Amino acid sequence: MKETDKDLLRLYKTYITGIVRPSYVLAHLVDFISSADIEQIRSEEQKSVTTSAELFLDCLFKVEEQGWFQGFLDGLTAAGYTGLAEAIQMADFSEIESLKGHKKLLERVTPTIINNVKPHEILPYMNSCLLPRECEEIQQLTTNKGNAAGAEKLLECLQRSDKMTFYKTFTLALEMSDSVAVTDLLCVDSDEMSTEPSDCSSSLIHEQEIHYMEQTGKDDACEAPYPGMKEVMTDSTSLKTPERHQKNSSDVKDMKLREYQKELARPGIEGKNTIICAPTGCGKTLVALTICEHHLKDMLEEKRKVVFLATTVPIYQQQSRLFTDYFQNTSYKVAGLCGESAEHAPAQMLVEVNDILIFTPQILLNCLKTSTIPSLSIFTLLIFDECHNTAKSHPYNVLMQQYLDAKLSTDSEPLPQIVGLTASIGVGDAKTVQETMQHIFQICANLDMETISTVRENLTELEKFVFVSEKHIREIGCRVKESGAAFFFGVRS
């Protein structure tokens, strides 16, 4: 081992000894550490794991043979210390350091966890952040000595975790086992932490300032498409106070559908695959929320699960906040994945725990590709925002190709209802009426649509709340002698 490698381990000794349990990796180093030293390390581990890890590193520093540094890394990886092994290889412990805040939080609530957590109930959901041997030891302690002893061992393992997702996984596991006393305390204490973001288990959605995406075309904000929109559409800086945010939350839930919105929602509520096509500013998102709520309430024996897909990160953030506010006082749980937040999030557990998921389409595609989400059949409703993008190689179209392949296959697995939202389906590259119609038919086929929902019966009401510009068509002749370029250069001269 090179001296630089030794210096690296010395530099990050505190991190390594705070994570590694030597007995898990010693088997890969028997050719480099003497039997007497191994026995001493194992004996010390019974008294103090950290002291044992320090002794373990001291023994490594004495080894001069070639190859055991790689053996050390292989031992870490084989034991499951993948985060630590990567940090050592990259000489970057910033991610390990970022775990300290949540570990301190667990220290603060240790008595509550020990008194309330039943390890047998949450261990099935903890495989992604606990080592296999840790799970076995917790299980054995719980069986032999009871829940308190098992919970104490569980906490010890979490305090030594090198997994970026350990806290989120733990809080979601608590929620799955209905450990309300602990989850409530963790949520409250998370809000008080000044150095770490909140990780309340009810959602993985980050706090964002809200900018409502569908603004009315009228200059007067009072003419918003439904009650309460004036507050929602105000400048985002005014929404930073909890009082104002709470007011907006209740406004979202108290919104009542206008008649034209009920007309738009009707096919979706009836369970049909439909495109809701209506002008910007008419409140299509409220229509989608209503369809979503009706879909979840209309349960018989099946468990229903909804996915809302947003094409961009800003729209994802806006819709995440809106869905969270709308369903906050119900039994339905909302969560989302987007961009960097998806990299370390336990997506499979997130889908299992929550009723409504907000995704960007590429995140859902990635989860399907890696089988983190086994298939689209686990969902019962897919809502595509800006659904006119479902063409060519757009992620929407790739998703729907998988949907249609499943529909046409011999397997009879149930598939979700599809609802699309758009202000205009568009014309694509069409240059004629026939090509335009073909483009519209193609979008409908791509989305497996049965109908297009537009406002027909309540147009007069719609025009009261949504600005519709007047169209003036004037035919002009073509320039024959003077080209655009000649005109441009003439102006410059």
Apex 142 CA angle, 138 and 145, nearest 5: 125
Residue 244: the pLDDT is 31
Structure tokens at 269: 């509520």
Strand ranges inside 267-416, DSSP E: 274-277, 306-309, 334-337, 356-359, 381-385
pLDDT at residue 5 above 60?
yes
Residue 385: the pLDDT is 94
Confidence of residue 260 (pLDDT cuts 50, 70, 90): very high
Query: For the segment 21-46, what is each residue's pLDDT rounded down to a tens digit?
Result: 999 998 888 888 998 999 999 999 98
Instruction: State whether residue 92 is helix, strand or coil.
Output: coil
- Regarding predicted confidence, which is higher, 275 or 147? 275
User: At 50, which helix (H) or strand (E)?
Assistant: helix 49-62
Mean pLDDT computed over 237-262 = 55
pLDDT at residue 451 above 80?
yes
Structure tokens at 75: 């031992």
Is-contact 440 455, C-beta < 8 A? no
pTM over 0.85: no
Q: Look at phi and psi of residue 442 and say left if phi exceeds 0, alpha if psi is from -120 to 50, else beta.
A: alpha
Query: For the segment 366-384, what is each residue's pLDDT rounded down to a tens digit?
Result: 889 988 899 999 999 999 9
Domains of the chain by start residue, with CATH:
1-91 (1.10.533.10), 94-184 (1.10.533.10), 259-465 (3.40.50.300)
- Regarding predicted confidence, which is higher, 56 or 215? 56
Mean pLDDT computed over 69-84 = 89
How many other C-beta atoms lie within 10 A of the C-beta of residue 331?
7
How many other C-beta atoms lie within 10 A of the C-beta of residue 137?
18
Residue 22: the pLDDT is 92
Cα(138)–Cα(154) distance, rounded to whole angstroms?
6
